[in-house]
Chain A
Amino acid sequence: MTTDRRPLLLMTPALLWLTALMVIPCALILVLAFFRRGIYGGIEYTWTLENLALVFDPLYFRIFLKSAGIAGLSAAIACVLGYAAAYAIAAMPRRRQPTLLFFAVLPFWSNYLVRTYAWIVLLNREGLIVNIARWLGYNGELPSMLYTEQTVIVGLVYNYLPFVILACYAPLSRMNPEVTEASRDLGASAWTTFRRITLPMTVPGIATGFVFVFVLSIGNFVTPALLGGGQFQMIGNLVYAQFLTANDWPFGAALSMVLILVMLGLLMAQAVVAERASNGKGQSDG
């Protein structure tokens, strides 16, 4: 089979496509980050590290840190909720689990904009929540619910929660029920069993969920743009602005490059966690 070239022939069109429209453009970004910005926008083809340095300029680095903070908090909240939901689904009768999982993940496949917009409908000044509060007799000034950092976090958690449920459910459903029973049998309480057996065995799912939510949140630009209001800036918005309004492509490319590096770093960390948890080979005493 190894000398057969026909499978490669089948793969060629798709691989060419991915090379031309993913590998090369991404490589281009990496190159672009090291060029100088032209005086009237555009690109001047001289090498520089200025763009990368600018990323670490306090003005922009603060946005980076804030984005990371929001992404981290969103990922953490999504992981807690998602793990609880996945655990609950795994505790239901086996034959019901596929249906529950399907409905938990279904919103994930509907339009991202629409899901974000739904929160505007709920939270805006004439929105449902305000109306409910009025109806309950509350006439005072309500705190602003839209266009805050918290709203952005709610939006991110809402949008990515289904993925965390999916990621956490996989290892939970694969667990042999006899393993937790063994822990109980050996004298551990339900809580100790969860902490020492179930949780460590399912950490890869949580890590996958966390990395995914973090990566998609830190580069997100729709949610901050819609739920954070116009002035709210995250890295995604900053990148967007460099390409579509400020016309500083090299700086935008540099921001993207850092974003890609953060993402790659996290994915590698997650792979390490998964490797460790999958019965850590290489730790044997030989």
Chain B
Amino acid sequence: MADRNTFRLMLLILGLVFAFLYIPISVLVGLSFNEGGLPTAWTGFSVKWYGSLLEDADILKAAGNTLIVAVSSTILATILGTLLAVGVEIRRRNGKWLETIIFAPMIIPDIVLAIALLSMFSLLNIKMGLHTITVSHVVFNLAFVCAVVRARLKSFDWSIVEASADLGASTMITLYRVVIPVLMPAIVAGGLLAFTLSVDEFIIAFFTAGAGRSSITLPMQIFAMIRFGVTPEINALATIVISVSVVALALSQRLNKGGLPGQ
């Protein structure tokens, strides 16, 4: 029957789209384990390219910087984003402008935000470095944390807050002992998401890092290396970066069954 043919066509479409999405990445990951390092021939499985990453001082320094930025911006964004989400959902009736401001960091083209921040930091004579990258990353990170936590709050039973008050808890104790624990999976999920976004973010970091190599992050290092040419080390580094994102995202997804944010 026609139904079966339609179903086959759908499977074919899915196959092609998934091939398009995954073949480039898979080739990259595969090559990173190729002993010869070249796509010309498979000369055997090897992790030597990963080993040579460890000897590259620039890469290690960049990875360290990325970790500093990602961890500190994630912590800040998680706190600010969670408080924002709780406040917004308690108020319920929020103006359109408020919703826009909370939503904007997720859709604003990063180049616009990057040059805007660069302009401001320069005009205010703020010396740029890891600290400026960090506070800039908090902008979009807090919006994503807020979105994830708000999604969870939509199905939150507010009567437990009233129950807590009824049993004699103050607002702060209720927040600390009732609201936060219930929201914990969503908060951690949002935090993990923020962490991957920060680890991967390139453009804003590139513009707000300031001069010199001291505050270069991993994506900036990768960008510089890519412009120089294809090397097996980049393949290995790229594989590590992809793995970090996939693991963090899979964890985030598992913790928070509400699905991926971003719409």
* Interface positions of A from 112 to 148, Cβ below 8 Å from B: 112-122, 124, 126-128, 131
B83 touching A28, Cβ below 8 Å:
no
A8 touching B87, Cβ below 8 Å:
yes
Chain A residues with CB below 8 A from B199, complex form: 111
B87 touching A11, Cβ below 8 Å:
yes
B241 touching A88, Cβ below 8 Å:
no
- Interface residues of B: mostly helix, strand, loop or mixed? helix
Residue of A nearest to B193 (CB): A109
Residue of A nearest to B28 (CB): A118
Residue of B nearest to A163 (CB): B262
Stretch at the interface among B43-51, B52-60, B102-110, B182-190: B102-110
- A13-B80, A17-B138, A259-B112 as given contacts; A118 in contact with B25, CB under 8 Å: yes
Known: A24-B120, A28-B120, A121-B31. 16 other contacts (CB 8 A): A10-B83, A11-B88, A14-B84, A29-B115, A29-B119, A85-B13, A109-B200, A117-B28, A117-B238, A127-B39, A219-B111, A225-B227, A226-B226, A243-B119, A259-B109, A259-B112
Bound-state Cα–Cα, A123 to B230, Å: 11
Chain A 220-253 near chain B by CB (<8 Å), digits 1 or 0: 1110011000000000100110011000010011
Chain B residues with CB below 8 A from A267, complex form: 107
Chain A residues with CB below 8 A from B11, complex form: 88
B202 touching A21, Cβ below 8 Å:
no
Can you name 29 A-B pairs with beta carbons within 8 Å?
A1-B92, A4-B90, A6-B171, A7-B87, A7-B88, A8-B87, A10-B83, A10-B86, A10-B87, A11-B88, A22-B101, A25-B116, A87-B13, A91-B6, A101-B259, A102-B253, A106-B249, A108-B262, A109-B245, A109-B246, A109-B260, A110-B242, A113-B226, A126-B38, A226-B223, A239-B111, A240-B111, A243-B115, A259-B112
B83 touching A87, Cβ below 8 Å:
no
* Interface positions of A from 28 to 44, Cβ below 8 Å from B: 28-29, 32
Contacts across chains A and B counted by CB atoms under 8 Å: 249
Bound-state Cα–Cα, A131 to B31, Å: 13
Is B135 engaged at the interface, CB distance under 8 Å to the other chain?
Answer: yes
Residue of B nearest to A107 (CB): B21
**B251 CB to closest chain A CB, in angstroms?**
12
Stretch at the interface among A51-59, A208-216, A273-281: A208-216
**B75 CB to closest chain A CB, in angstroms?**
13
Binding site for A on B (CB under 8 A): 2, 6-7, 10-11, 13-14, 17-18, 20-25, 27-28, 31, 38-40, 79-81, 83-84, 86-88, 90-93, 101-102, 104-105, 107-109, 111-113, 115-120, 123, 135-136, 138-139, 142-143, 146, 171, 193, 196, 199-200, 202-203, 207, 219, 222-223, 226-227, 230, 234-235, 238, 241-242, 245-246, 249, 253, 259-260, 262-263
A88 touching B196, Cβ below 8 Å:
no
B25 touching A110, Cβ below 8 Å:
yes
**B179 CB to closest chain A CB, in angstroms?**
10
Bound-state Cα–Cα, A221 to B202, Å: 11
Binding site for B on A (CB under 8 A): 1-2, 4, 6-11, 13-15, 17-19, 21-26, 28-29, 32, 81, 84-85, 87-89, 91-92, 98, 100-122, 124, 126-128, 131, 158, 161-163, 165-167, 170, 190, 208, 212, 215-216, 219-222, 225-226, 236, 239-240, 243-244, 249, 252-253, 256, 259-260, 263, 267
Q: Which of A22, A104, A111, A166 contacts B18 (CB 8 A)?
A: A104
A10 touching B84, Cβ below 8 Å:
yes
Chain B residues with CB below 8 A from A91, complex form: 6-7, 10
Chain A residues with CB below 8 A from B242, complex form: 110-111, 114
B14 touching A85, Cβ below 8 Å:
yes
Bound-state Cα–Cα, A1 to B87, Å: 12
A111 touching B241, Cβ below 8 Å:
yes
A28 touching B123, Cβ below 8 Å:
yes
Chain B residues with CB below 8 A from A85, complex form: 13-14, 17
> Which 5 A-B residue pairings sit nearest by Cβ, starting from the closest?
A10-B87, A25-B116, A11-B87, A118-B24, A14-B84
B39 touching A25, Cβ below 8 Å:
no
- A8-B87, A166-B263 as given contacts; A219 in contact with B142, CB under 8 Å: no
Chain B residues with CB below 8 A from A105, complex form: 260, 262
Q: Which of A88, A103, A113, A131 has the most CB of B within 10 A?
A: A113
Chain B residues with CB below 8 A from A81, complex form: 17, 20
Chain A residues with CB below 8 A from B108, complex form: 22, 26
- A29-B116, A259-B109 as given contacts; A117 in contact with B13, CB under 8 Å: no
Chain B residues with CB below 8 A from A240, complex form: 111
B84 touching A166, Cβ below 8 Å:
no
**B164 CB to closest chain A CB, in angstroms?**
14
Chain B residues with CB below 8 A from A222, complex form: 202-203, 223
Bound-state Cα–Cα, A241 to B245, Å: 30
**B177 CB to closest chain A CB, in angstroms?**
16
- A14-B142, A28-B116 as given contacts; A161 in contact with B28, CB under 8 Å: no
- A10-B87, A190-B2, A256-B115 as given contacts; A18 in contact with B24, CB under 8 Å: no
